[in-house]
Chains A and B, each alone.
Chain A
Amino acid sequence: TRLAEGTPRRSIQLSNIVEQRIFKDDDIISTPKRARSKLAEDVDYTPKKSSQKTPTRPRRVSTAISASASKSKEQAPLTPSQKLKKIRSGELSPSMEQRCQPVDAAQKSQLQLAREQLHVSVVPKSLPCREKEFDNIYSFLEGKIEDQCGGCMYVSGVPGTGKTATVTGVIRTLQRQVEQRKLPAFEFLEINGMRLTEPRQAYVQIYKQLTGKTVTWEHAHTLLEKRFTTPAPRRTTTVLLVDELDILCNRRQDVVYNLLDWPTKAAARLVVVTIANTMDLPERVLMGKVTSRLGLTRLTFQPYTHKQLQEIVGARLAGSEAFKGEAVQLVARKVAAVSGDARRALDICRRATEIADTNEAQSSQKCVNLLHVQQALAEMIASAKVQAIKNCSRLEQIFLQAVAAEVTRTGVEETTFMGVYQQLETIVAFMGVALPAPGRALSLCAKLGAERLIISEHSRHDLYQKILLNVSTDDIHYALRVEAN
């Protein structure tokens, strides 16, 4: 810490100044909470000053300091504030606890292997059935990188249609091309709107991927602005992938605007690929100036058809005998009819292997057949409401009947507890069951409401609370009649 006293403070990069000023003396070694609050206060006003600093030289100075400092204290355990400082400057990489020993891969059965192959996180090297989209994105990015200019692309499609997998696949191919010196080098950054607590944290993430340092969003924003607006020799192209674009759209849309405005600057050489679910997001949500910057280079991923799903699952299982052909076809047809989501198809297949694993006695001929797939489909697609109604208590069933009867009597979907209770009295008298007191009926109502079989208000409105039926009346009749027989 003495070292820092002698160095010219001015030229040190600001985030480091802040940290050194806070942590320079021994008296500051206090509770982490206090230190953190101080840090937050100090960081707040840093961006105002930062415009006067030159960005290149100080970084070297600061690294020299931190290197020597860390060398001198290598043995000593870190105080929490020192740790925090290192984390914020990216010197400590986050790691996870390790298992004592890895699971042995040799003694896995065929079903287990198939299950691993079918896992959603195992992305294949080349996505089947997305060749056209791959070519489209590849030619766009390759052109932009070779032309050394910036640009935007908007990719849309319903969830599970391989958008992110295709784009990252393209990037991987391009990086391989760079390694073989067939393409000029480029930097790849990636942010996901869902992983940010706030749209402005996007700046922090982008800056972190560029330098490894964590700074406040204001600071990151000014630094990025400077990077992308001032021309610099030997600037390489940067490809920025923005996943879940619709989350980044707040009311002011300043973050989206900046992300799409930087590519238009000549100095930036930024290519932004944005991914979202809705096809008409630019027209529906974004402001005119943002839509116009997003441009017209768009690509829509259609949902998979059942043949494509069959191909995808087939490609995953390549060579394995774990699945019967018609089993895969059944999954593909059922999923394609609902959403065309590849993840769903893979999940159902995986569930089917689990069912086959537990059901079949002999381990020799374990194979997923139609019955297993049907059971998995019933578990994952079929509604549980009829089962829930069947397993309700007697009074709860009568209460549901009373709600349905009140809906048919009044013709309005929304009923009040009073009307339902009158119906309950009638039904109970008809069945010869003892009538529950209104308080008891309220607890029945609350229980059904918690199970979401009906939608009810807080029971403080007792007789006047409004009740909606959350299941169809046919479901109730079906569940209760079948049981009666």
Chain B
Amino acid sequence: MEQICAALEPQFPCRETAITTLAQLIGDCDEAYPAAIYIYGHSGTGKTAITKAFLQQCHKQQNVQIAQLNAIECYTTKILLETVLDALAPQQGELEIRADNMLEFVEQLRRWQRTKTNGFLIAIDNAERLRDMDANVLPVLLRLQELSGINICVILLSQLPFEKYYNKTGLSEIMTVHLAQYNKAETQRILGSDFLQMQQRLLRQQQLTDDEHRLQLCKQALTAEFYNNYLNLFLSVFYKACRDLPELQLTARKCFDIYVQPVLDGSIESTDVSRLWRHIAGPLRAALTQIYMRIEKPLGEPELVEQSVRQLAQSLELPYYGKYLLIAAFLASHNSAKQDKRLFVKHHGKQRKRMQSVNAKAKTVEKMSTTLGPKSFSIDRLLAIFYAILDEKVGLTCNLLSQISTLVHLKLLCFVSGENNIMDGSAKLQCTVGLEFVLHIGKVVGFNVRQYLCDFM
């Protein structure tokens, strides 16, 4: 037990308590294991990694068979059971292992009572999927020790608390271990633990360039304190938005190259923190908008969301009528059908203004239909609006109708109901693109969309 702890603790800093708890529960295979352990915590807290390393240490140091699997991969119970049996079998390759159902699985385990293996450990990742499998999977796994009569422990890993697992027929007891998210100091410590690797990498880069002066500067400037300062700046921007350790690690490495550049050039002293901050603040904020989007792109060029939408809208190569159809669909989704006559019929007569309608018009942003989400419309209404907003008169050809189905295929429109009876007119569509996107498309074809939206009148 102490050996396992000693082997794991340098590998996983700031997780001493969790490792000790695990070691107390399943550290010694000569003692009885608990029937089941439930480890939960957010993504990026090291559930899978710690469990994996722990089980491998157990396997290496003690006479324990281990099985690790992911419940997502096991889309039938049979796959789950056979994977577990394959991994756990004490004598490898003795027979073809088969388990069609839970009964055969448990029978197979019972047969191992007389083998010399002292313990069996099963770790199941993404355990929330077990709730969706056959109704007997989770209850049996939680009582596997009792049913099989061997020293076995089932470890379930998930991001949910165990309260989400109770079914209608009750579950047996389980030990829960919580892995809390790292706080700022711990995050900084973990991020700072790869300082040596970073140093090696930078030095090797400088050696390749054959610039003696830069190499000298690099050796001089690259200290642990310097790196910690950088991480402090980095976390002051990022920690509010993201505490996911792998994500932070990835971005921190990317931004460090930009941070260290002026120091290597000799333009900024390595101790001048405020100037370094002014230099790095822009790229860091730019990187913050790209977090969780694994785009391999050089940093530094600030990219605003609006521009990307414009690019997307301009790069979308729809035919002319297709664009008009998309605009018509957007108008149909975001205007109420009551307003259609006033908006699109040429001679609709005079509208009398009433106090009531004026009051109703005075909308707040929350009430605007463009922010409330699209409403559904029929294909007839789509075509009517299309013909109303298009100046020229085109025939209703099959090309035009096929463009509607193409828009559906491209997921710019979607069906909400009546997918099977499109032709009899009861099918309802929805427009899935946003206002920005449609405004850009309108600009491309020279059509003012705002003019036809009730919200902007």
Interfacial residues of chain B within 39-85, with CB under 8 A of chain A in the complex: none
Answer yes or no: B161 CB below 8 A from chain A CBs: yes
Q: A439-B161, A442-B163 are in contact. Are A458 and B170 (CB under 8 A)?
A: no
Choose one: A451, A456, A459; the contact of B165 (CB below 8 Å): A459
Answer yes or no: B240 CB below 8 A from chain A CBs: no
Chain A nearest CB from B97 CB (Å) reads 16
CA distance A449 to B168 in the complex (A): 6
Answer yes or no: A446 CB below 8 A from chain B CBs: yes
Chain A residue at smallest Cβ distance from B167: A458
Chain B residue at smallest Cβ distance from A438: B163
> Are B131 and A460 in contact, CB atoms less than 8 angstroms apart?
yes
For B112-149 the 0/1 string (1 means CB < 8 A from A) is: 00000000000000000001000000000000000000
Task: List B contacts of A451 (CB < 8 A).
Answer: 170
Answer yes or no: A447 CB below 8 A from chain B CBs: yes
> Are A458 and B163 in contact, CB atoms less than 8 angstroms apart?
no
Q: Number of residues in B with C-beta < 8 Å to the partner?
A: 12
Answer yes or no: B169 CB below 8 A from chain A CBs: yes
CA distance A460 to B166 in the complex (A): 8
Chain B nearest CB from A192 CB (Å) reads 27
Chain A nearest CB from B96 CB (Å) reads 12
- Known pairs A439-B163, A458-B167, A459-B167; list 8 more (Cβ under 8 Å): A438-B163, A439-B161, A443-B163, A450-B169, A458-B131, A459-B164, A459-B166, A460-B131
Answer yes or no: A190 CB below 8 A from chain B CBs: no
Chain A residue at smallest Cβ distance from B169: A450
Chain A residue at smallest Cβ distance from B171: A446
Task: List A contacts of B169 (CB < 8 A).
Answer: 450
CA distance A445 to B168 in the complex (A): 10
Chain B residue at smallest Cβ distance from A437: B163
For A227-244 the 0/1 string (1 means CB < 8 A from B) is: 000000000000000000
Closest 10 CB pairs of A and B: A450-B170, A446-B166, A459-B166, A439-B163, A442-B163, A460-B164, A450-B169, A458-B167, A449-B168, A439-B161
Task: List B contacts of A457 (CB < 8 A).
Answer: 168
Chain B nearest CB from A31 CB (Å) reads 12
- 11 A-B residue pairs with Cβ-Cβ distance under 8 Å, sorted by A, are A442-B163, A442-B166, A446-B166, A449-B170, A450-B169, A456-B168, A458-B166, A459-B163, A459-B166, A460-B165, A462-B164
Chain A residue at smallest Cβ distance from B131: A460
CA distance A459 to B169 in the complex (A): 11
> Are B161 and A458 in contact, CB atoms less than 8 angstroms apart?
no
CA distance A400 to B166 in the complex (A): 18
Task: List B contacts of A449 (CB < 8 A).
Answer: 166, 168, 170
> Are A443 and B161 in contact, CB atoms less than 8 angstroms apart?
no
Interfacial residues of chain B within 132-191, with CB under 8 A of chain A in the complex: 161-171
CA distance A450 to B162 in the complex (A): 16
CA distance A451 to B163 in the complex (A): 18
Chain A nearest CB from B291 CB (Å) reads 29
> Are B167 and A462 in contact, CB atoms less than 8 angstroms apart?
no
Chain B residue at smallest Cβ distance from A460: B164
CA distance A451 to B170 in the complex (A): 8
Chain A nearest CB from B251 CB (Å) reads 34
Chain A nearest CB from B139 CB (Å) reads 11
Chain A nearest CB from B348 CB (Å) reads 46
Chain B residue at smallest Cβ distance from A444: B166
Task: List B contacts of A456 (CB < 8 A).
Answer: 168
CA distance A291 to B170 in the complex (A): 46
For A113-139 the 0/1 string (1 means CB < 8 A from B) is: 000000000000000000000000000
CA distance A458 to B165 in the complex (A): 8
Chain B residue at smallest Cβ distance from A447: B170
Task: List A contacts of B171 (CB < 8 A).
Answer: 446
Choose one: A447, A450, A462; the contact of B163 (CB below 8 Å): A462
Task: List B contacts of A459 (CB < 8 A).
Answer: 163-167
Task: List A contacts of B170 (CB < 8 A).
Answer: 446-447, 449-451
CA distance A439 to B166 in the complex (A): 11
CA distance A460 to B158 in the complex (A): 14
Chain A nearest CB from B180 CB (Å) reads 16
> Are B131 and A450 in contact, CB atoms less than 8 angstroms apart?
no
Listed residue (A449, A456, A457, A460) with the most chain B CB atoms within 10 angstroms of its CB: A460
Chain A residue at smallest Cβ distance from B166: A446
CA distance A445 to B163 in the complex (A): 10
Chain A nearest CB from B135 CB (Å) reads 10
CA distance A122 to B131 in the complex (A): 47
Chain A nearest CB from B100 CB (Å) reads 12
Chain A nearest CB from B293 CB (Å) reads 30
Chain A nearest CB from B224 CB (Å) reads 42
Chain B residue at smallest Cβ distance from A442: B163
For A420-443 the 0/1 string (1 means CB < 8 A from B) is: 000000000000000000110011
Chain B residue at smallest Cβ distance from A449: B168
CA distance A447 to B165 in the complex (A): 12
Task: List A contacts of B162 (CB < 8 A).
Answer: 439
Chain A nearest CB from B156 CB (Å) reads 15
Chain B nearest CB from A463 CB (Å) reads 11
CA distance A462 to B161 in the complex (A): 11
For B237-259 the 0/1 string (1 means CB < 8 A from A) is: 00000000000000000000000
Task: List B contacts of A458 (CB < 8 A).
Answer: 131, 166-168
Interfacial residues of chain A within 387-443, with CB under 8 A of chain B in the complex: 438-439, 442-443
CA distance A67 to B161 in the complex (A): 68
Chain B nearest CB from A12 CB (Å) reads 36
CA distance A439 to B168 in the complex (A): 16
Chain A residue at smallest Cβ distance from B132: A460
Task: List A contacts of B161 (CB < 8 A).
Answer: 439
> Are B168 and A450 in contact, CB atoms less than 8 angstroms apart?
yes
Task: List B contacts of A445 (CB < 8 A).
Answer: 166
Chain B residue at smallest Cβ distance from A439: B163
CA distance A447 to B170 in the complex (A): 6
Task: List A contacts of B167 (CB < 8 A).
Answer: 446, 458-459
Interfacial residues of chain A within 438-480, with CB under 8 A of chain B in the complex: 438-439, 442-443, 445-447, 449-451, 456-460, 462
Chain A nearest CB from B99 CB (Å) reads 15
Chain A nearest CB from B183 CB (Å) reads 22
CA distance A456 to B167 in the complex (A): 9
Interfacial residues of chain B within 257-272, with CB under 8 A of chain A in the complex: none
Chain A nearest CB from B133 CB (Å) reads 13
CA distance A447 to B166 in the complex (A): 9
Task: List A contacts of B164 (CB < 8 A).
Answer: 459-460, 462
